């Protein structure tokens, strides 16, 4: 029997169930549509993951529960993983140029113009803010295996690492 994949101590099943319930009101078809929209816009050889309070159930900064300020108030932190996403971001849109972007968000709405239509579709479907970050696969490996930060894979697969 195959071992279920986990990240940061949470299984993919636990995280998926939490996301479907808390973000999509228990509607699996809305979750599937969200993933489908992501897959339409993603460049080849990339994966999309969901991070943050949507998968953990609480905010990192103050441990408040997801949507603590009311329905639709917590944002979704989508990260597109792989080198092919990097050119979508302007040079000024990076924490580490060419490696790890800042999130396309209300705070930085112009850093990845080609991703704005994707963000708008995702926000309409989810009924809440959606932030889209780009990073290389080894950064996700570090976040997962070194720092123990959980993430839910929505589309694709993240490359293997030693």
Q: Is residue 91 part of a domain?
A: yes
Q: How high is the pLDDT of residue 162? A: 42
Give the pLDDT band of residue 160 (cuts 50, 70, 90).
Answer: low
Q: Is residue 118 part of a domain?
A: yes
Q: Is residue 12 part of a domain?
A: yes
Q: Please compute, for residue 2, the number of CA atoms within 13 A of its CA located in the half-sphere on the CB side.
A: 4
| Domain extent for 21 | 6-152
- Is the full-model pTM beyond 0.85? yes
Q: Is residue 157 part of a domain?
A: no
**60-98: pLDDT as tens digits:** 889 899 999 999 999 999 999 999 999 999 999 999 999
Q: Is residue 123 part of a domain?
A: yes
Give the pLDDT band of residue 161 (cuts 50, 70, 90).
Answer: very low
Q: Is the separation of the CB atoms in 72 and 127 below 8 Å? A: yes
**30-45: pLDDT as tens digits:** 999 999 999 999 999 9
Q: Is residue 159 part of a domain?
A: no
Q: Is residue 1 part of a domain?
A: no
Give the pLDDT band of residue 148 (cuts 50, 70, 90).
Answer: confident
Q: How high is the pLDDT of residue 3? A: 57
**109-129: pLDDT as tens digits:** 999 999 999 999 999 999 999
Q: Is the separation of the CB atoms in 19 and 26 below 8 Å? A: no
Q: Is residue 78 part of a domain?
A: yes
Number of domains the chain contains: 1
């Amino acid at each position: 029997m195959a071992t279920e994949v986990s990240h940061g101590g949470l299984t993919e099943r636990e995280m998926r169930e939490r996301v479907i319930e808390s973000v999509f009101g228990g509607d699996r078809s809305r979750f599937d549509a969200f993933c489908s929209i992501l897959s339409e816009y993603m460049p080849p050889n990339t994966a999309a993951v969901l991070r943050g309070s949507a998968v953990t159930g609480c905010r990192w900064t103050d441990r408040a529960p997801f949507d603590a300020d009311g329905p639709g108030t917590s944002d979704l932190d989508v990260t597109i993983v792989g080198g092919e996403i990097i050119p979508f971001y302007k040079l000024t849109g990076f924490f580490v140029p060419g490696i790890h972007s800042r999130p396309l968000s209300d705070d930085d709405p112009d850093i990845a113009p080609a991703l704005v239509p994707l963000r708008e579709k995702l926000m309409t479907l989810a009924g809440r803010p959606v932030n889209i970050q780009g990073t290389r696969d080894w950064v996700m490996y570090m976040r997962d295996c070194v720092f123990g930060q959980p993430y839910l894979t929505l589309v694709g697969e993240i490359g293997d690492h030693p």
